[in-house]
Amino acid sequence: MKESVLHHVWQYRLFAANGLTTTGGETVEVIDPGKLNTDAGPDFFNAKLKIDNTLWVGNIEIHNLSSDWVRHNHQRDKAYDNVILHIVSKADAEVRRTNGEFIPQLEMKVPDDIQERYDELISARKWVACEDKLQLLPAVLISSWKSALLTERFERKTAAVESLLSQSQNHWEEAFYISLARSFGFSTNSQAFETMAKSLPLSVLARHKDNVFQLEALLMGQAGFLEKVEQDEYQLRLHKEYRFLQVKYGLKPMEISQWKLLRLRPDNFPTIRLAQFASLIFRSSKLFSVILETHSGKELRKLFDTRVTEYWQKHYLFGRKSSVSTKKMGEKSIDILLINTVIPFLFAWGKKKNDQHRMEEAIRLLEEIKPENNAIIHRWKERGVTCQSAFDSQALLQLKKNYCEEKKCLQCRIGHKVLTINK
């Protein structure tokens, strides 16, 4: 028996309420099971019980076996002195507070149907354990759960923003620049782009914000693409410019081996992404400040609608010509930048400044963006779970990664409904 199942049964009062008695024969009436504690200490706070008609208010501790109380040394921990009832699957020992007082114990049986459904979910070898039951659930349940999941995802991304801020001495523009660079790498070269950005401070780029050639030299050089000069006049010019700037700012370029080129479409080559990034910084070296003054998805898209310089309109790699193309960011690529960096930063800014309107604005922007089109979202759609916007797709990504893959069915609203579907 897993303690988590006992927690679930107690929290949602799925036990037979009539005829509850302690191991000592005292009657138990549950008025309030208490609030689940996710931190250290007793499992439930502020429960209200009647034990033999005496009202008790205090905490609840749950174990599989009574002897786990001693095994965990709760008898020596004053944090557990306010436990008014010890709930167990099997009472194999007496339990005491630090002063030696006995604590009442209740053997609680998990209903057979709930145990059976839980075992089925945990042992299922399906993409989603409950996928056969999804069509039986009310749409409003899934919709409300999506909202909660999106809040969770925003909290996680806010924590990532705060981590970057800490690394950047609380400099929002620098933190945004690093995050945006990572997003420019998309999934294949995200780490390489982040490494490049962390080795090339935004303050250095800002000093050359009015010269797109120098911006390209700094970015291409720092990324390692100017270490080996081909038979290409433009690369040679960039190389000479970078060498001068490298000495001036004490820069150390990356190893070019950190970049991945295999199986990439030409438009996704890191050289093209770096050229687009240079054009974006040329537009503004204080991008986050500009974004804070931009209040619509349409305006944000215009900000990222940049074109590469003339050389890159005719090349994908140094020395390798291509058909002439503006090679501007596509709609889907811009969506990824908005979803992964812009909107999380707007939300984090709102939270930091206690600006509820800004946080709501970030969520509204997410609702304006088309849902992501990846393998996970596609498989959700195959199972009948609708996805109308990036709001939905982000929530479903959170569900799959943090609940389904972790088998956290008991913490999932859908899992809870599946367990209690006929109750």
How is 41-110 classified by DSSP, letter by letter? S-SEEEEEEEETTEEEEEEEEEEEETTHHHHTTGGG-GGGTTEEEEEEEE--S--B-TTS-B--EEE-PP
Phi-psi sector, 134: left (phi>0), alpha (psi -120 to 50), beta: alpha
Query: What pLDDT, on the 0 to 100 scale, is given for residue 319?
Result: 87
Are 127 and 245 found together in one domain?
Answer: no
Does residue 100 sit within a domain? yes
Q: Which amino acid is at 130?
A: C
In a domain, 115, yes or no: no
Q: Is 275 domain-assigned?
A: yes
Using N-to-C axis directions, what is the helix angle for 186-199 and 172-184, rounded to 10°?
140
Q: Are residues 147 and 178 in the same domain?
A: no
- Compute CA 283 distance to the chain's CA centroid, rounded to the nearest angstrom: 30
- Note whether 286 and 208 are same-domain residues: yes
Single residue among 74, 91, 110 that ends a domain in this structure: 110
Last residue of a domain, one of 89, 110, 131: 110
pLDDT at 230: 79
380 & 348 share domain: no
Distant-in-sequence contacts of 40-43, Cβ < 8 A, 24+ apart: 40/79, 41/79, 41/80, 42/79, 42/80, 42/82, 42/83, 43/7
> Do 93 and 224 lie in a common domain?
no
Residue position matching structure tokens 């790699």: 317
pTM of the model: 0.87
Q: Which amino acid is at 193?
A: F
Give a yes or no: residue 259 inside a domain.
yes
- What's the number of domains the chain is made of? 3
Strand partners, 404: none
* Residue in this structure with the two tokens 């050229």, named with its chain if needed: 275
pLDDT of residue 228: 87
Domain containing 392: what range? 120-167+370-423
Cβ atoms within 10 Å, residue 78: 10
Q: Are residues 197 and 128 in the same domain?
A: no
Dihedral of CA atoms 136, 142, 144, 145 in degrees, nearest 10, equals: 120
Angle in degrees, CA 264, 265, 271, rounded to 5 = 80
Buried b (16+ CB within 10 A) or exposed e, 331-363: eebbbbbbbbbbbbbbbbbbbeeeeeebbebbb
- Please tell me whether residues 37 and 85 are part of one structural domain: yes
Is residue 32 one of the residues assigned to a domain? yes
Mean pLDDT split into 10-residue runs, the chain, 423 residues = 90 92 96 94 97 96 97 96 97 96 95 92 93 90 95 95 96 97 95 97 96 98 92 93 98 96 89 96 93 90 92 92 90 95 97 94 94 94 93 97 95 93 63
